[in-house]
């Protein structure tokens, strides 16, 4: 357990630029965590988490679902946004109001005042699950940033540049941390190291990451 997880972040650390156009907002969502988690569980009840297939023939270790007008889908044909959940045939659940509020206020805090999300990708990590280095480039308008919220167990987040060969920074993301990125960093390569075993007070043995996007 992390002895300091219950303490407020030091003020100077609350708004940390990590690259041009990219900001880490430590503890930004800590206060609203219970409502956010409840909304996550309501989405998952309607659009179940599943391990998607990659175009390269792998099964993702991360379990995924979506809400909003568009959901992110991966299968042997490729990656794309779709208006319906292929698992249920239904439209994705609507974006919960607390998601929209969190995403818009974090984006504004980071300098993206007019961000309005219309999609949220939900990724659930069990211990051992990871996300390989990738770019988020399936969104139509790359002028909009991405807002990423971490809940539950801590993870090591890898953050590079738009050039895959550049070395990556490492940031430890804990429950309630928000990362916003756009502008010159919008196409930065990034990934998540294998989740370390642990137990979180609210989420138990998992990490949940929400990424809010303007998808289409």
Interacting residues with Fe ion (CB under 5 A): 136
Quick check: 131 binds ligand MD6 (CB under 6 A)?
Answer: yes
**Considering CB distances under 5 to 8 angstroms, the limit depending on partner class, which of ligand MD6, Fe ion, none binds residue 209?**
ligand MD6
- CA dihedral over 54, 60, 62, 65, signed as positive or negative: positive
164 CB burial (10 A radius; 0-12, 13-18, 19+): exposed
43 CB burial (10 A radius; 0-12, 13-18, 19+): buried
Quick check: 209 binds ligand MD6 (CB under 6 A)?
Answer: yes
Quick check: 66 binds ligand MD6 (CB under 6 A)?
Answer: no
In the complex, the smallest distance separating the C-beta of residue 204 from ligand MD6, rounded to whole angstroms, is 17
Cβ neighbours, 10 Å, residue 81: 21
In the complex, the smallest distance separating the C-beta of residue 135 from ligand MD6, rounded to whole angstroms, is 9
**Considering CB distances under 5 to 8 angstroms, the limit depending on partner class, which of ligand MD6, Fe ion, none binds residue 189?**
none
Task: Kindly tell me which residue out of 148, 151, 176, 182 binds ligand MD6, with binding defined by CB under 6 A.
Answer: 148
**Closer residue to Fe ion (CB): 136 or 177:** 136
In the complex, the smallest distance separating the C-beta of residue 58 from ligand MD6, rounded to whole angstroms, is 16
**Considering CB distances under 5 to 8 angstroms, the limit depending on partner class, which of ligand MD6, Fe ion, none binds residue 179?**
ligand MD6
Cα distance between residue 65 and residue 209, in whole Å: 11
Cα distance between residue 168 and residue 191, in whole Å: 9
CA dihedral 105→183→75→57, nearest 10 degrees, is -130
- CA dihedral over 201, 191, 197, 47, signed as positive or negative: positive
In the complex, the smallest distance separating the C-beta of residue 131 from ligand MD6, rounded to whole angstroms, is 5
Quick check: 179 binds ligand MD6 (CB under 6 A)?
Answer: yes
* Length of the chain in terms of residues written: 216
Under the rule (CB under 6 A), what is the footprint of ligand MD6? 123, 131, 136, 146, 148, 157, 179, 181, 190, 192, 209, 211
């Amino acid at each position: 357990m992390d002895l300091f997880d219950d303490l407020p972040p030091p003020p100077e650390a609350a708004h940390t630029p990590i690259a041009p156009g990219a900001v880490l907002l430590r503890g930004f969502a800590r206060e609203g965590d219970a409502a956010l988690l409840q909304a996550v569980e309501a989405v998952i009840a309607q659009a179940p988490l599943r391990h998607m297939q990659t175009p390269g023939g792998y099964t993702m270790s991360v379990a995924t679902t979506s809400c909003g007008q568009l959901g992110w889908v991966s299968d042997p044909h490729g990656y794309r946004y779709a208006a319906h959940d292929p698992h249920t045939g239904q439209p994705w659940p609507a974006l919960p109001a607390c998601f929209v509020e969190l995403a818009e206020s974090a984006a504004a805090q980071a300098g993206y005042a007019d961000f309005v999300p219309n999609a949220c990708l939900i990724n659930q990590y069990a211990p051992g699950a990871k996300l390989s280095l990738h770019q988020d480039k399936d969104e139509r308008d790359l002028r909009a940033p991405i807002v990423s919220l971490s809940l539950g167990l801590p993870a090591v987040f890898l953050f590079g540049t738009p050039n895959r060969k550049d070395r990556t920074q490492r940031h430890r993301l804990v429950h309630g941390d928000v990362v916003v990125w756009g502008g010159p960093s919008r196409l930065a390569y990034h990934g998540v190291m294998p989740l370390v075993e642990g137990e979180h007070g609210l989420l138990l043995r998992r990490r949940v990451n929400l990424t809010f996007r303007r998808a289409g």
